[in-house]
Structure 1
Amino acid sequence: MSKRSFTLIENEWIVLADGTRLSARIWMPDGASDSPVPAVLEYLPYRKRGGTNARDESTYPVFAEAGIAGVRVDIRGSGESDGVIDGEYTPRELSDGCELIAWIAAQPWSNGKVGMMGISWGGFNCLQVAALKPPALKAVISIASTVDRYNDDIHYKNGTHLSAQLSWAATMLAYQSRSPDPALVGDAWKDMWLERLKNEPFFMEEWLEHQRRDAFWEHGSICEDFGGFPVPAMVIAGWADGYRNTPMKAAEGLGSKVKALIGPWVHKYPHFAWPKPRADFHGEAIAWWNHWLRDEETGVEALPQMRAFILDGPKPALRRNVEPGFWVAQDEWRPPEMQAFHVDPSGSLNDGSPIAGAHAHTAYLKSPLDTGTASGEWFTLKPDAEMAGDQRIDDAGSLTFETAPLTQAADYLGQPVLTVELACDADWANLVARLVDIHPDGSATRVTFGVLNLAHRDGNAEPKPLVKGEKTKIRLVLDACGYRFGAGHRIRLSLSTSYWPMVLPAPSDPGLTLDLASIDLALPKLGEHRSITLPEPENPDPLPKYNELAPGKTSRRVERDMTTGKTHYHIHEDTGLTEHPDTGLATQDIREEVWTIATDDPLSMTGVSTWTCIARREGWSVKTVSVSRIGCTATEWLTSASVSAFEGETQIFEKTFEKRTPRDFM
């Protein structure tokens, strides 16, 4: 098929019913006015200019060449759009999204059929907008998203408090503090900027008001009403990312409406993600849109419901560029058959049911509070130290149980489940379970993990304290995995009470007494499947290149102070200063984040995330510096933040936030 020419509309104002102007960048196939075309909307708060422009420019020209208009819109209060953002996935945001879809469908160049897609925020809101049933929306592609905002996002996980909550609140405070571009909005840029700076929220304050799974988290969680979801959805994720559970949960909840794809990737679009192998996302997406938005027979309805990459024993490494493994397909995703393992009296992990009548044998577990420094990031953007490292570091502070060397390879796909009986001398504590591949040379790869606040053992809506000293049966579902343990490898179960800095500690550190004879680890067998080949993108380097004015830099390091007993986890991320060759806009974002804890005091935990955001072109420059902090007492979370804004070298604005929020079994 020949490629169509197209026109780039750098800025289009879409005026909502309340008069708010949202800023759109549109890739328009030529001739659409005479022969209308379908359109795909992506709707984000990350700035289409000086933000996501590189990845947008890797995809929307390809769509336009295929005769599909691309409409990339900045959410209210971000980029060049009017107003102030009011939170994540709010009713106003989703309502604005429905208005955008209606506007697109009504344009003379539109055939009246709209698709919506995105990764992360855009992957979330395309599912959430679809659930509102705007008539013109006919299909979605959701990447690295969730169907359950409480348990599968950056805030909380099974009642535990993720450090990513501060990291993300700091990121959004920095992003929303950035100035609109005068080249697009004209002389109004400064007034728009000051309005945002004065009125933007610090998201974490609201998130901490909802430490249980309440109506706040139910809003936007499509798992609350899978049956009402109206359109076909392609749901994509990567094993190296925090959103790895969503394709399976969507397939289980939405059935035949879903086509699921899971690769080895970090939190990126599949056509430029790491680790490789990549997937031909453009080909997949164009076939999807042509079927659902043009009624063409492209074969997408015949796709298997589940396609997944099975990792074949990758080893820990400083950078994982290519993962060993193979693609499999299942025409219909069903809950897998589970293979049971138990711990025998010698402490070994054995396949099969426990020995009938075996006597209870117990072990006390109290991990050093800095256990977890090899956990990596909750969601990953690069295949380096953001991914989990060699697990021997964290296994040193854990109880571990492992099999004998396997005599043949064992393949798994799904969510492992751990059950165990335990007792605790406090109202609650955290339990962490990791499934680890022990290679013949002793190196240890984390396959998957699960965390549980024990007060949330029976659900996240109404935490229930433990009865001190009383044995309680716990069921912990680990994250999904697709993995082959090779012959000669060992399967290890690692248990800990800490997973810092990924998971923030409970207010006390009582330890747990585990009944080892009660441990049941159920692993999901791969089961019936067929091997497939997934096409890779034709272009191995699809991202455009911009002018590099200063190089970027990234580092992660752990510092253990042997004098004070404190451990510090340092993160440095610098995008470098890059200039877009067409707009002349140069941007740079620098993140400095430090987490600190004393290994014997959970109340010593602190986190500080500092962002510096720079934008400039000849004759104009702006900068914001934002600092976000968290600490705690036994009964409260202590949060604070500040934002300073500079025009040139002159500070023009400063604002602070400070709040104490009661801890609610967290």
Structure 2
Amino acid sequence: MVFNVKDSKERKIKTEFPREIAKMDHVWIPMSDGAKLAATIWLPKDAEEHPVPAILEYIPYRKNDFTALRDSIRHPYFAGHGYASIRVDIRGSGDSDGILLDEYLKQEQDDALEILDWIAKQPWSTGHVGMIGKSWGGFNSLQVAARQHPALKTIITLCSTDDRYADDVHYKGGNLLASDMLWWASTMFVYNARPQDPEVVGESWRDNWLDRLENTPPFVEEWTRHQLRDAYWKHGSICEDYAKIQIPVFAVSGWQDGYTNAVFRLLENLPNESKGLIGPWAHEYPEVAIPEPAIGFLQECLRWWDQWLKGKDTGIMDEPKLISWIQDSELPAVSYDERPGKWVADWSWPSRNINEKNLYLAEKKLTNEVMAGEETVIPSVQEHGFYAGVFCPFGQPGDLAADQRLENGKSVVFTSEPLQETMELLGHPIFHGELSSDQENALLAVRLCDKAPTGESTLISWGMLNLNHHYSHERAEPLKPGEKYKVTVQLDALGQQIPKGHRLEVAVSPTYWPQAWPSPKPVTLKLYSGKDTNISLPVRIPQAKDAEYGHFENPETAKVMDKEIIREENRTRHVSHDLVNGIWKLEDFSDEGERKLHANGLQYGSINKNTFTIKENDPLSAKVTCEWELNVGRDDWQTKLKSYSEMTSDETAFYLVNTISAFENEEKIFTKTWRKEIPREFV
């Protein structure tokens, strides 16, 4: 995970603002149980004479080093426009007290309510608060909104989800997300092990560090124990009761983000004042995101804050429910600097501008007509999926899917005739299929691709389903070999133009490594043609008024804080194939660089390597390893962490290994290994 500040072509750096800014470092917010949470606050210098609304960002990624660069361009900007902008480290992270035991615990929400109480009582506060956050901060802003604190008037949630089971890094379609489950757990495993800053907390830092090292668990163990959508995942999933959120929500994402789907559900289910924005972006704030076009997102935030926290009519509520970017067709590339396209506007969601178009699967073709009576055999190819790209791109080189001709020979592909007219898609493609399996345990992966007249195949959407969850993600049952089942797979949402003359491809397979952990045995599916085997496409009818919207200002930010680059970033993704032994391997290496901050002297960096391995015809050979090396320190004080995480399985269980070692000034002071065997439940 890289917390950098990427430059948009048109980004303007602001150094003067309507209100002069004061920064308050190392503010302690007391909790009722005696714990203290660490905060940094930017606010107008005259806020005690002229109180202001507050904006809270509440995340576990260390405000004094790892997110300091990105915080420096955003929070002062809000403060300069008349807000107290507050950045708090969650309990157990950064300089805050305690241990972070898992994601999105009730303790995290309870602490947030106490933070809101504290903000509302400050002499510089009007008592009106908004929350903003990307990813973890987007998740918890939704969760805290559902707790209905009277001071919280609105939130801006970016790259987040309302459904922790179905739409996060743990499971997708009921399949264990091999690409991200262990990687994200290994990330938090080492992140949580970082020490507090002795210049902030004093001599207790070392004892507290050893306490965190000893007692912070590898989250992957708990996540793997809960393979069904049970109470563990329902906690923090605001989709369980959308009515608990009674304040306006601005939901933002991008087509390269892993969390775009949630925007559509939120708009459909939250208060009418809520709005959505989807650009071409990866998992990042839209003022610095790639691919271009980046937008003046902080200006849009101010319009939202002014509307709901200051009571000004900014005109934002006179605009469409959803503004989204329809991407032009592009040939496949693993990275894009820019995605040409256009902004479109929909005044409701579901939108009246969208019609469903069904294409039926038969004889390796996508057709407008139902063709019954054919059986298509779909065998397992365990190495199918190596060119899928990452689940949630952060905008790093190599994140995206390669030319799908590299994958299509490892699946069964149904191809349309060339389109007679250009088509625009907005929303979720939905695959319906009647099929049978020769094994009790099976999954289905579906890819939707844009095939150019010259043959290149661009992945535009995908989805998958654990077929043992065909009734519900809350219960799994064995399939009856040979029995026919009718299943539905919702593919990821898209905003995509398909030009005249291009073809659509639908590829189906019972494997998708390393996105899905493979079924215990090789699977052969049969797909039966007919009215129940089709893909439904969300075809959007262009509107004359589309051109009136999406005229965003160029990006503005505050000045990024001064830093020294000690080591540059470097990213490689390498697929190898051992022809003699039939072993396929993906090695994803990310040196996230090393920096030194001038303001506080902190120096930090990280290196991450993830390896995904599988052997042809052997699903039980699947293996994921994640390695981290991470340092935080100053000239006279250096700490380093090294971690190794591993996940394997046999037919009945998953096997987890997590090891962490800590070093102070190059001397190893701690090492510990956790080992866990967890039964498989039709996963």
TM range (shorter): over 0.9
Highest RCO, 1 vs 2 (Cα 8 Å, sep ≥ 6): 2
1:219-253 superposed Cα distances (whole Å, 9 cap, x missing partner):
11111111221210000111111101011010111
How far residue 359 of structure 1 moved from its aligned partner, in angstroms, is 3.8
Aligned to 1:34: 49
Q: Does 1:137 align with 2:152?
A: yes
- Residues 122-150 of structure 1: per-residue CA shift (max 9 Å, x gap): 00000000101111000000000001111
The answer as to 2:276 corresponding to 1:260 is: yes
Q: Does 1:585 find its partner at 2:620?
A: no
Label 1:602 to 1:587 Cα distance change in 2 as closer, same or farther (>3 A).
same
Letter in 1 for 2:34: G
- Change over 3 Å in CA distance of 1:397–1:222 after alignment to 2: same
User: Amino acid of the residue matched to residue 355 of structure 2?
Assistant: E
Q: What's the counterpart of residue 72 of structure 1?
A: 87
Deviation sequence 1:391-428 (CA, Å, 0-9, x none): 11111101111111112210110111111111111112
> Does residue 547 of structure 2 align to residue 533 of structure 1?
no
Task: Name the CA shift for 1:240/1:81 in 2 (closer, same or farther; >3 Å).
Answer: same
User: Following superposition of structure 1 onto structure 2, how do residues 163-178 of structure 1 map, counting pairs within 5 Å?
Assistant: 163=178, 164-178=180-194
Q: Which residue of 1 aligns with 2:10?
A: none
Matched with 2:7 is: none
CA displacement 1:33-87 (0-9 Å, x = unmatched): 0110011101111111111111111111110110111100000010000110121
Q: CA deviation at 1:603?
A: 0.6
Does the CA contact (< 8 Å) of 2:248 and 2:274 recur in 1?
yes
The worse-fitting range, judged by mean Cα deviation, of 169-178 and 538-547 is: 538-547
Is 1:179 equivalent to 2:195 in the alignment? yes
- Give 5+ residue unaligned stretches, structure 2: 1-15
> Given the superposition, is the C-alpha separation of residues 600 and 2 from structure 1 closer, same or farther in structure 2, using an over 3 Å criterion?
closer
Contact 2:360 2:534 in 1 (8 A): yes
Q: Aligned runs of 1:199-210 on 2, under 5 Å? A: 199-210=215-226
Cα 1:112–1:539 shift into 2, 3 Å? closer
In 2, distance between residues paired with 1:117 and 1:550? 31
The amino acid that maps onto 1:646 is F
Q: Report the equivalent of 2:640.
A: 623
Residues 272 and 543, structure 1, Cα contact 8 Å, conserved in 2: no
Whether the aligned pair in 2 keeps the contact of 1:279 and 1:534 (CA below 8 Å) is no
The whole-number CA distance in structure 1 between the counterparts of 2:101 and 2:564 is 34
Are 1:279 and 1:535, in contact at CA under 8 Å, matched by a contact in 2? yes
Matched with 1:342 is 360
Q: Counterpart in 1 of 2:11? A: none
Counterpart residue number, 2:682:
665
Using the alignment, how far apart are the partners of 1:95 and 1:344 within structure 2? 54
Shift of 1:628: 0.9
Q: Is the partner of 1:270 in helix, strand or coil?
A: coil
Q: For 2:458, what is the secondary structure of its paired residue?
A: strand
> 2:470 maps to what in 1?
457
Following superposition, the deviation at residue 290 of structure 1 comes to 1.0
Q: Give the corresponding residue for 1:436.
A: 449
Deviations 1:93-131 (A, max 9, x none): 110011111111110100000000100000000000010
Q: Partner residue of 1:388?
A: 401
**Deviations for 1:233-282, whole angstroms, at most 9, x for unmatched residues?**
00011111110101101011115132011111110011001111112110
- 1:311 and 1:383 map into 2 onto residues whose CA distance is 20
What code does the residue aligned with 2:73 have?
A: S
CA contact 2:591–2:608 (8 Å) conserved in 1: yes
How far off is 1:8 after superposition?
1.1
Specify the alignment match of 2:12 in structure 1.
none
Give secondary structure in 1 for the equivalent of 2:302: helix
Cα distance in 1 for residues equivalent to 2:117 and 2:416? 58
Q: State whether residues 274 and 383 of structure 1, in contact with CA within 8 Å, keep that contact through their aligned partners in structure 2.
A: no
Shift of 1:527: 3.3
Equivalent AA in structure 2 for residue 211 of structure 1: Q
Provide the TM-score with structure 2 as the length reference.
Answer: 0.95
Query: Which of 89, 101, 106 is the equivalent residue of 1:86?
Result: 101
Does the 8 Å contact 2:468/2:478 carry over to 1? yes
2:411 to 395, 398, 403: 398
Pairing partner for 2:497 from 484, 487, 491: 484
- Post-superposition offset of 1:318: 4.0
Q: Does 1:280 align with 2:296?
A: yes
Contact 1:38 1:114 in 2 (8 A): yes
* Correspondence 1:161 to 2:161: no
Indicate whether 1:641 and 2:658 are aligned. Answer: yes
Q: Do residues 237 (structure 1) and 253 (structure 2) align?
A: yes
SS of 1:35 mapped into structure 2: coil
Whether the aligned pair in 2 keeps the contact of 1:140 and 1:233 (CA below 8 Å) is yes
Give, in whole Å, the separation in 2 of the partners of 1:91 and 1:84.
Answer: 14
The percentage of aligned residue pairs carrying the same residue is 38
Partner of 1:419: helix, strand, or coil?
strand
- TM-score in terms of structure 1 length: 0.97
Query: What RMSD, in angstroms, separates the aligned Cα atoms of the two structures?
Result: 1.5
Q: Is the 8 A contact 1:342 1:520 kept in 2?
A: yes
Name structure 1 gaps, 5 residues minimum: none
Equivalent residue, structure 2, for 1:102: 117
Q: Distance in 2 between the 1:121 and 1:382 partners?
A: 18
- The 5 A counterparts of 1:317-396 are 317-334=333-350, 336-345=354-363, 347-351=364-368, 353-354=369-370, 358-396=371-409
Q: Which amino acid counterpart does residue 462 of structure 1 have in structure 2?
A: R
